Structure 1
């Protein structure tokens, strides 16, 4: 994975992200997503926002300018989208918040296959990570910091694995007495996620840290300081130097 500037040069960002909220020719348009304004989303009924995971109007106003412009809108092929981007994002948020399967999507959202296709296209083009990074930068700026961090915090947490987790990808953390998997993360000083890696629980913190810190270095070149607890002492310190 490459950094924000390496993945998307500034000259290209204007092509990938949506313009400012559109002015409507008709008051009948109920949403300002690109699929409603320029596509065929108006052919499908609106849904009543009813779940805690649904975006508020204020959240949507922040999210909308960061969404990628569809290929069909730029004459690069494909058909005008027929499903509201806001509804698709709310469906993904519902799935993540509830931990449900794609096929368990409630009927008031677009069909699960449509939602998954929307998610998959953006994941395959790296736009989900890009979307996350841009939102993190905005949060940091609102806290009076630079968009890119200069320091981080590394840690790990062992969690019990569900019965559906294959035995080949789980382990036993002898120190924490936890069978399952381990999350290795680096955050900025606000606790916002920078990089993450999931391993079997028997993988040591220092062993996982080398790969994690390599990724951190590639993605966030400004970081020169990372805080860690005693689990990261030993040869790792010299390796970092």
Structure 2
């Protein structure tokens, strides 16, 4: 019963070992190496500090594998295969972590580890911005979809900012009709709030024009006056 030598809090102090090990058969399942890393950055539960709540019932690896399955396959929560913990339990854990900001914290911790492993400073000084228009499913409301005339795509647009290793820094989703330079403004504002160290953002020609002047005016660098202002966007 239970996961062998699992480092998660549910198996060590909760009820995770009550349930049988789930055979890992899906491509979205964590490997042993991946799980050893992920388990160390998951949020510390309040019940272990005496702040209420019940001890966790299922191994956190099974919860994470279930979340990864939904993300990888795009299925409904209630359509989780029966070998995972109950879908309501998985959904409740994900919702709590998301609302508490834990999902962002987990991602940021893992990104910091990768940067350290690549001999980079934890806080990036340069970034790359781009966008991608994707078709929306029929269930997506008309008020949140648009038409990208350039790409000839009806749906939504992802405005993505990464560091120079391709690691995610900021994501913003708009209707596909929003121009790159218009979607870049709130994305760059959020980037400045998160990373004051970034002084250079690379972009293609779709971001040229008034956006460069706007960035220099609205997003001045703070803390390191010797750096270049954010908004230097080469073609």
Same fold (TM over 0.5): yes
Separation in 2 of the partners of 1:199 and 1:115?
28
Q: 2:98 aligns with which of 123, 137, 142?
A: 123
Residue 216 of structure 1 is matched in structure 2 by: 191
SS in 2 for 1:152: strand
Aligned residues: 215
* Residue 32 (structure 1) shift: 2.5
Residue 7 of structure 1 is matched in structure 2 by: none
Whether contact under 8 Å (2:129, 2:202) holds in the other structure is yes
Q: Does residue 132 of the first structure (1) align with residue 110 of the second (2)?
A: no
Moved over 6 A (4+): none
Cα deviations by residue, 1:184-232 (Å, 9 ceiling, x for unpaired) = 0111001111001111111111111110000000011110100011111
Separation in 2 of the partners of 1:95 and 1:176?
28
Unpaired segments ≥5 residues, structure 1: 1-26
Unpaired segments ≥5 residues, structure 2: 217-235
* Residue 121 (structure 1) shift: 0.8
Residue 35 of structure 1 is matched in structure 2 by: 10
Whether contact under 8 Å (2:2, 2:19) holds in the other structure is no
Q: 1:151 aligns with which of 111, 126, 137?
A: 126
Separation in 1 of the partners of 2:168 and 2:127?
10
Residues 75-94 of structure 1: pairs in structure 2 closer than 5 A: 75-94=50-69
Residue 74 of structure 2 is matched in structure 1 by: 99
Q: Does residue 44 of the first structure (1) align with residue 19 of the second (2)?
A: yes
TM-score scaled to structure 1, two decimals? 0.86
Residue 190 of structure 1 is matched in structure 2 by: 165
Whether contact under 8 Å (1:195, 1:215) holds in the other structure is yes
Separation in 2 of the partners of 1:202 and 1:29?
48
Q: 1:177 aligns with which of 152, 159, 167?
A: 152
Cα-Cα RMSD? 1.3
